[in-house]
Amino acid sequence: MKSKKDNPELVTEFQNPLQNISPIYISNRSNAEEILSEIELKLKNQDDWSVRSEGIQLALSALKGGITQNSSTDYSSFCIEIANCVTDLRSALVKSGSLLIAASAQIFQEKYGTSIKVLIPSLFKQLTHGTAIISNSCRLALLEIARNVPITKTYYLFNSKIQSKNNQHRLMLAEMINILLETWPSTIISTLKDSLNSSLQTLIDD
């Protein structure tokens, strides 16, 4: 199920969020901790949005350079700051923050479950934004979470929108369930069977 607003170039960018990123290679654990501290410091800058943008780019470069090989980080220590970026008014900041979420979901996978409780609601807030690049970026980031973080918490956070009167929210949930049924492990799907059946019936009746 695809939205009519899908932009092929943007879809490709979110499917490969690190493709055009220059890597920063991390040599050891100490170096990794220094990079993480710098990322967090930049993301917490409330006075200059361009500094926060630099923080996002640094986080992406560290992922591209393999920071996970020298650190147990899952980027959860600054997930609130990332959530603030994707709910910002500046489309460039929203897009780059959404790309970081997509990349993080792909690399951390189930470990990213520590961040999604904060990030998923923030992304949902922007689905109805009048600026296409903002709404589409947040939508595509949500799809990458659905594809790459196959845990029950992911499903329930999406499914919390089942009673929403917002059409975009319900469409997003339908897309997520479609991905879940096609790609998630059957052991997880079986534990969600009753809730899935109920949600599907609600969406069908809608």
Crossing angle between the packed helical segments 29-43 and 79-86, to the nearest 10 degrees: 40
Q: What is the mean pLDDT of the chain?
A: 94
Residue 109: how many other CB atoms lie within 10 Å: 15
Instruction: Give the angle 83-84-85 at the CA atoms, nearest 5°.
Output: 90
Distances (CA, A) of 172 to 5, 55, 128, 141: 13, 28, 11, 11
pLDDT of 157 strictly over 80: yes
Q: Give the amino acid at 138.
A: C
Q: What burial class does residue 147 get, using C-beta atoms within 10 Å of its C-beta: 0-12 exposed, 13-18 middle, 19+ buried?
A: buried
Specify the pLDDT at position 5.
58
Given a contact cutoff of 8 angstroms between Cβ atoms, the answer to whether 122 and 159 are in contact is no
Distances (CA, A) of 32 to 23, 57, 187: 13, 15, 35
Poorest-confidence range of 53-57, 99-103, 166-170?
Answer: 166-170
Q: What burial class does residue 98 get, using C-beta atoms within 10 Å of its C-beta: 0-12 exposed, 13-18 middle, 19+ buried?
A: buried
- pLDDT tens digit string along 88-104? 999 999 999 999 999 99
Q: Give the amino acid at 146.
A: A
Q: What pTM did the predictor assign?
A: 0.95
- pLDDT tens digit string along 56-75? 999 999 999 999 999 999 99
| Alpha carbon distance 52, 54 (integer Å) | 5
Instruction: Give me the sign of the Cα torsion angle 185, 190, 196, 197.
Output: positive
Closest CA to 6 of 104, 178, 14: 14
Specify the pLDDT at position 54.
97
pLDDT band at 179 (very low <50, low <70, confident <90, very high): very high
DSSP, residue by residue, 138-164: HHHHHHHHHHH--SHHHHHHHHTTTT-
- pLDDT tens digit string along 18-34? 999 999 999 899 999 99
3-state helix, strand, coil in the chain (%, to 5): 70, 0, 30
